[in-house]
């Protein structure tokens, strides 16, 4: 078995895995009913699926000897922007009160910091 045949098998496997992830992402996008749960399908599963499809494209173009950086740039842009856009969409939904708001944090100086609360001193 030559390296070229193994490369085509890798392309086929990446296409199948990527298509499966994209299919799960589409089903999740259609099935979930509120915006916050619907947000997880395209940002998590869809990103991995599109990443696998781009990996298949990278391997295929390398097998043909026509390597380009377009797929790498698309992958980097996708993995950099997907979490940021998901964060902004979640913030918009929270501010529009389209979903259940998270509970308020405790009102002390130890929440979300490295400060440790002082132990209560006993009066002897």
Residue-wise pLDDT for 30-89, tens only, equals 888 887 778 877 788 888 899 999 999 999 999 998 888 888 899 899 888 888 888 888
* 122 found inside a domain: no
| Predicted TM-score (pTM) of this structure | 0.71
Angstrom distance (rounded) from CA 95 to CA 33: 19
* 107 found inside a domain: no
Q: Report whether pLDDT(112) > 80.
A: no
Count of domains in the chain? 1
* 77 found inside a domain: yes
* 38 found inside a domain: yes
Any idea of the CA torsion for 63, 48, 96, 99, to the nearest 10 degrees?
160
Q: Could you tell me the residue range of the domain that residue 88 belongs to?
A: 3-95
What confidence category does residue 28 fall into, taking pLDDT thresholds of 50, 70 and 90? confident
Angstrom distance (rounded) from CA 86 to CA 37: 11
Comparing CA positions, the residue from 45, 49, 19 lying closest to residue 32 is 45
């Amino acid at each position: 078995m030559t390296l070229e045949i193994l490369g085509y098998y890798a392309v086929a496997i990446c296409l199948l895995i990527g298509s499966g992830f994209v299919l799960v992402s589409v089903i999740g996008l259609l099935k979930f009913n509120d915006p916050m749960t619907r947000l997880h399908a395209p940002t998590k599963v869809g990103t991995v699926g599109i990443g696998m499809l781009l990996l298949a494209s990278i391997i295929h173009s390398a097998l043909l000897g026509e390597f380009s950086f377009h797929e790498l740039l698309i992958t980097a842009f996708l993995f950099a922007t997907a979490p940021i856009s998901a964060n902004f969409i979640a913030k918009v939904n929270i501010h529009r009160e389209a979903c259940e708001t998270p509970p308020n944090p405790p009102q002390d100086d130890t929440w979300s910091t490295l400060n440790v609360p002082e132990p209560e001193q006993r009066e002897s």
